[in-house]
Amino acid sequence: MADNLQHQAKEVAEFWRSVRAIAGDDDQTVIDTVDGETDAISALRRTVQLAIEAEAHAEAAKALAANYVERRKVLEDRAERYRRAAAAFLQEVGEKSLRLPEATISWRHTGPQIVGEIPSAAGLPDHCVKFQRVKHEPSIKAALEAGETIPGLSLSNGGVGLTVRRA
């Protein structure tokens, strides 16, 4: 769709400029005239609609991902409770292991476990948190703008972006 729109823009550009020269600052006249003679405005509108839809789908996917993370945690906690219950059952009846149709199960001693709610990483001392090295694009851009050399990277001359203000 985007490639088709670029192709249509090339085809309609001269006509657009001639209509603009006649209509002046009257955008609606330009749009109506070009729309009456070509499919370019319809293609443009459809492309903007697709962009809005894609952004909405991206936001929905983001929300679903957060829900799935929460759901995974609930399911992992549930599985752990079932495992503890089965281990407690084996201990109570005096068995170390038992062969069942679903699986062979056995209990074992585990090491010490953390008791209590672990605070956020900000509330822990440095030696109790893991620091992860991740790229930070704003810092990379700032370094390049400051003239620093980073192998394989440079700044472009910029491009064109589209602002969409929904009615």
Mean pLDDT of 75-79: 96
Mean pLDDT for all residues in the chain: 92
pLDDT tens-digit series, residues 101-147: 999 999 999 888 889 888 888 889 989 999 899 999 999 999 999 99
Could you tell me the two tokens for 144? 């390049």
Model confidence at 76: pLDDT above 90: yes
What does pTM read for this prediction?
0.59
Helix (H) or strand (E) holding 61: helix 40-93
DSSP string, 125-152: -GGGS-------HHHHHHHHHTT---TT
Confidence band (pLDDT; 50, 70, 90) for 1? Answer: low
pLDDT in tens, 18-27: 999 999 999 9
Question: What is residue 59's predicted lDDT score, i.e. its pLDDT?
Answer: 95
Q: Residue 164 is encoded by which pair of tokens? A: 């969409």
